[in-house]
A and B are shown apart, each in its own frame.
Chain A
Amino acid sequence: MQLYPLKLVTVVGESVIMEDIAEEGMKLGATGFTMSEVSGHGSRSARNVASTTGAQTMKVEFVVPADIATSILTHVSHQYFEDYAVIAWLGDVQVVRGQQYVK
């Protein structure tokens, strides 16, 4: 079985902006994303307000090549870090059927 080395970009933040982040990640070259409702506490999480579905904090994950991972992180940090409760990180992953994640 062949494994492909790719990057996992994880963004956790206020539910009101997460759908936008997923959409913008796709525009920047991701081929898909996973979104889930999560709970937790952080230094700015008091700022969270519930979205219409009631979720307060959400997580969106992208499996992408390194260059796209960098552009997603740059975009998220520029557009959202100053005003919203949001955190993003990058990890190395070994992916089965990894060729699907490269456009």
Chain B
Amino acid sequence: MMVFAMAMLPVWAVITGEQASRILESLERNLLTPIPLCFVLGIICTRIHGGIKIPKELYYSIAIFLLMSIGFMGGHELAHEYEAHGVSTIWKPALATLFLGCLTPITSYLVLHYVGRLSIADSAGIAAHYGSTSAVTYAVANSFVEQTQHPANSFLPTLVTILECPGIAIALIVGATLSARERAAKAAASGRPAKESKLGEALYEVITGQSIMLMAGLLLIGFISTMFMDSKSFQPFYDFFQSKGMLFRGVLCIFLLEMGLVAGEKLGDLLKVGPFLIAFGILMPLAHGFVAAYLGHAAGLNLGGCTVFAAIVSSASYIAAPPAVRLTLPEANPTLSITAALAITFPFNIAFGIPIYYEMAKWVGAQ
């Protein structure tokens, strides 16, 4: 908590008393709801060696449901948006997403390597996590804006899908290119042939990985079925997948409980990663979130849309990125990147980040 308060000092310095009380109100409205509270329960349970255990199969089944639901509802809403406005409302946010997907891994890499003095591989490895996005952060942010009666633009799930890949790809390409020189020099010194790079394989696995296949696949299925099915036959699918529904919200609680259990285990690693990475895990998302809220507003997103957009841009991947980084940059230390993504940025976003992005979105003028 102390570290968090210190890391937030520059933020507190530029906001007025009235804004601060509004942020605190939003924090309260966000924190005292079942989804973040389940996450907190998970952390507490791990720390006191409690007995909650979520079967791995259930966790992965829920992940599949959440990804399918996000994709399907995204496709459904996208079809309505397309019927009403064509592509006129979508292309600017999509372009902003692509731009930020390319920008965030580069800013993260520069800060980590030049300010934090981390090695090329570690900087690029962490940058790959922060360049990509977390679908669960999207789901929680979306629930938050629905609770505040400012639902996000319907096509936000499309933006989550766009954001998933470029960040990981750019960071891995930068990291692999820069560290290849070091590796070649090392191989020459030891007199052995250089090891083959697994960059291509890792990129293929990211693009054809579960997250993208399920989200993009269901987005297409939701879009096609909305266009071609009558609404009565479509209704059961809508009821099953809808993100405002009891099924989605309920399983999200179970998922967050498991995330809390995992994050609780990683808390011990906070001491190993040091104060720089803790500050990075809080301040970098805030900086990325602010740029995203600003660009999202400029691209025409509404208040809920800007909030969710800021949350997804600032979030860090912890499912797709770790294996890809491990394959491509084996000399990077995974404890650093996974602790930053899972034990610092994810809890920060769930508890404090999302309400702050909401206030940022208001501040830039989103309505």
> Does A50 touch B at the CB level, under 8 Å?
yes
> Does B209 touch A at the CB level, under 8 Å?
yes
> Does A99 touch B at the CB level, under 8 Å?
no
Name B331's contact: one of A14, A17, A83 (CB within 8 Å): A83
> Does B86 touch A at the CB level, under 8 Å?
no
Interface of B is mostly: helix
User: What is the CA–CA distance of A49 and B321 in the complex, to the nearest angstrom?
Assistant: 10
Distance between A38 CB and nearest chain B CB, rounded to angstroms = 14
- B210 pairs with A49, CB closer than 8 A: no
> Does A52 touch B at the CB level, under 8 Å?
yes
Number of interface residues of A (CB under 8 A): 18
Name B326's contact: one of A14, A53, A78, A79 (CB within 8 Å): A14
Distance between A82 CB and nearest chain B CB, rounded to angstroms = 8
Residues of chain B within 8 A (CB-CB) of A50 are 322-323
Residues of chain A within 8 A (CB-CB) of B331 are 83
> Does B232 touch A at the CB level, under 8 Å?
no
Q: A46-B335, A78-B192, A79-B195 are in contact. Are A52 and B330 (CB under 8 A)?
A: no
- B334 pairs with A49, CB closer than 8 A: yes
> Does A90 touch B at the CB level, under 8 Å?
no
- B322 pairs with A49, CB closer than 8 A: yes
User: What is the CA–CA distance of A68 and B209 in the complex, to the nearest angstrom?
Assistant: 33
CB within 8 Å of A: which B323-345 residues? 323, 326-327, 330-331, 333-335, 338
Q: Which residue of B lies closest to A52 (CB)?
A: B210
- B330 pairs with A83, CB closer than 8 A: yes
Most interface-central of B198, B320, B330, B338 (chain A CB within 10 A): B330
Q: List 23 A-B contacts (CB under 8 A).
A: A14-B326, A15-B323, A17-B327, A46-B335, A47-B333, A47-B334, A47-B335, A49-B322, A49-B323, A49-B334, A50-B322, A51-B323, A52-B205, A52-B209, A53-B60, A54-B56, A54-B59, A54-B60, A78-B192, A79-B195, A79-B196, A83-B330, A84-B326
Given contacts A50-B323, A83-B331, 5 further A-B contacts (CB under 8 A): A16-B326, A49-B338, A52-B323, A54-B60, A79-B195
B residues in contact (CB < 8 Å) with A: 56, 59-60, 192, 195-196, 198, 201, 205, 209-210, 319-320, 322-323, 326-327, 330-331, 333-335, 338
A residues in contact (CB < 8 Å) with B: 14-17, 20, 46-54, 78-79, 83-84
